[in-house]
Amino acid sequence: MIKVYPYESLGHSDYGWLDARYHFSFARYHNPDRMGFGTLRVINDDIVRAGAGFAPHGHDNMEIITYVRKGAISHKDSAGNEGRTAAGDVQVMSAGSGIEHSEFNREDEDTSLYQIWIIPRERDVAPRWDARRFPDTPAHDRLPTLVSGYENDQGQDVLFIHADAAIYGGRIDAGAQITQPLRGQAYLLVSEGSITLDGQTLRRGDGAEVTDMATLPVTALADSEVVIIDVA
């Protein structure tokens, strides 16, 4: 089953320095019908203005993934980790027993990114941070795995999280179709372009819940970028 959530239907807050669209309840946006999807708790489609960012603040017991689509974000945390995550890069942070961090757009252009929060399978793990760049070669059969908490994905150059979840992402050329295997239920995001799912058209910014499907066929109507979050 596929249920589409158009970009225009998402929660929205414009703070001036941050223009945020919320797939689930977050901050000023509260929707009792949109409190999460399985262990997936947050998807924020954020535009962080040039020179602005999130001041130091704390998290605990959450797996936080940042998928940068345009520009870059600079990370610094209380565990001593620092890094600049640019478009095409993904960073992960296991908040675990508690960590404080900041994220700033130190570029001269706005930064566009997804912030994704997943509930961990174990509490109070040691906090950690990691980031990686992934190839931008278009996918042919399936999207590459970018992030995973599953044991059989480790050692395959993917970012680790403490959760029963995986994130697949990449580009699909116009006219091409992929078939993505799924472990559980999934939430799909169209980062760029437009696609069809089971006869339904999704465009840039749209999301879709996918349930009771072992595989997900995706056809690109234009050159597109797609992110799939596969969760328990």
| Model confidence pLDDT, tens digit, residues 204-230 | 999 999 999 999 999 999 999 999 999
| Model confidence pLDDT, tens digit, residues 89-121 | 999 999 999 999 999 999 999 999 999 999 999
Mean per-residue pLDDT, 153-159? 89
Indicate whether 175 pLDDT > 90. Answer: yes
Residue 117 backbone phi and psi in degrees, to 5 = -115, 130
pLDDT of residue 157: 87
Which domains does the chain possess? 2-231 (2.60.120.10)
pLDDT of residue 62: 98
Cβ within 8 Å of residue 23, ≥6 positions away = 5, 10, 11, 34, 42, 43, 44, 45, 187, 207
Contact 95, 140 (CB under 8 A): no
| Model confidence pLDDT, tens digit, residues 22-73 | 999 999 999 999 999 999 999 999 999 999 999 999 999 999 999 999 999 9
CA-CA-CA-CA torsion sign (13, 120, 215, 155):
positive
Alpha-carbon gap, residue 158 to 179, rounded angstroms: 20
